[in-house]
Structure 1
């Protein structure tokens, strides 16, 4: 079908059919315009609806993707939280164990401190007792030690002299310093001291069981064991030194308490 527009009459013609005659234009003009507007509005609404549907579909896909990522993130955070909770619980257990160990160590430390303080007090008392030590009648005090010399004119073998000291609750003198040696030699020309060498032994030993420490105070060339039986020691006043002699010889002696 072809359409034509008559400029004079303002009519549209097509294949001899007048779509809009001059007589009816005035009656149907407004209705035609309304129809056109309605069709345009309907087309616009359909377009907007279609656009809305597309946007909703797009947004739904985006929301689904975001929801999946959000779910994964929540899962990771939950795992991290649980791991931190486990570590926290382990740290609490370790802290509790360390606290118990600390208490045990503190208790042990206090016991050691108490023991140390007691030992210090004992040492202090021993020093006081040593300083305040008084000698029995007939004994002589020198450097906080008590000594007794054998009676004038008395002499015994080394074993006899030691037995006499032991009966007095003491023993033959042990000389550790030159001052003590000078004190001991003051009464007799020759004096037994508590140093000897027992048979089958090559070391000199004091009467308290300790071995001679260092070179001692020997005379020149002594000890020489000249007759093979010089196993006991005497102190010579003239030489202010020691000499090894046979234990069966008889000399004065000095006891030390």
Structure 2
């Protein structure tokens, strides 16, 4: 059953990547959810957020499980260990919001006892060597993905 889901993602990704340059300018990959830019370097949460803002886009905001599966697949293809999710609880401990608009996250996939870092870990990461999200110190460096809708 799991293999079938990955197979669908492979087929979908081939089609998406084949049309990426025609639909989105430069190194942006087009999907029905918008255009995605995958970093080649790691950055702190703030650096990633600022980089996406400079590209007139937002740091990745996961809205559902299929988007998360596609992002996980694309990130694994690129050799990422983790990807910043544009969510933080810096303003109010335990309440994760998207800084792009201040809204609370609606979809989440926290792993086990996550988020569990208290005031030392305030930024969300899609951890690729595990099954879900983790909270990390915002000064840690991960790859990141910018999204244009």
Per the TM superposition, whether the score is higher than 0.5 is yes
3-state DSSP class of the match of 1:169? coil
User: Quick check: 1:165 aligned with 2:52?
Assistant: yes
**1:158 shift after superposition:** 0.2
Cα 1:204–1:144 shift into 2, 3 Å: closer
Q: d(CA) in 2 for partners of 1:224 and 1:247?
A: 14
**1:249 shift after superposition:** 0.4
**1:143 shift after superposition:** 2.0
The two structures have a TM-score, normalised by structure 1, of 0.44
**1:135 shift after superposition:** 1.7
Aligned length: 121
Instruction: Give the structure, 1 or 2, with the largest relative contact order (CA under 8 Å, sep 6 or more).
Output: 2
Determine if contact 1:190/1:237 at 8 Å carries over to the other structure: yes
3-state DSSP class of the match of 1:185? helix
The one of 91, 104, 115 equivalent to 1:223 is 115
User: Quick check: 1:246 aligned with 2:137?
Assistant: yes
Q: d(CA) in 1 for partners of 2:69 and 2:140?
A: 23
Q: d(CA) in 1 for partners of 2:92 and 2:34?
A: 33
Q: d(CA) in 2 for partners of 1:203 and 1:180?
A: 22
**1:171 shift after superposition:** 1.1
The residue correspondences of 1:33-44 to structure 2 (distance < 5 A) are none
Counterpart of 1:189 in structure 2 is 81
**1:190 shift after superposition:** 0.6
**1:199 shift after superposition:** 3.7
**1:210 shift after superposition:** 0.9
3-state DSSP class of the match of 2:86? strand
Unaligned runs of 5+ in 1: 1-132
The one of 119, 126, 132 equivalent to 1:235 is 126
Q: d(CA) in 1 for partners of 2:94 and 2:85?
A: 18
Counterpart of 2:62 in structure 1 is 175
Give the structure with the higher percent helix.
Answer: 1
Unaligned runs of 5+ in 2: 1-21
Deviating above 6 A after TM superposition, structure 1's stretches of 4 or more consecutive aligned residues are none
User: How well do the aligned residues superpose, as a CA RMSD in angstroms?
Assistant: 1.8
User: Quick check: 1:203 aligned with 2:95?
Assistant: yes
Q: d(CA) in 2 for partners of 1:198 and 1:189?
A: 23
3-state DSSP class of the match of 1:165? helix
Counterpart of 1:139 in structure 2 is 28
**1:209 shift after superposition:** 1.6
Determine if contact 2:62/2:68 at 8 Å carries over to the other structure: yes
**1:200 shift after superposition:** 4.2
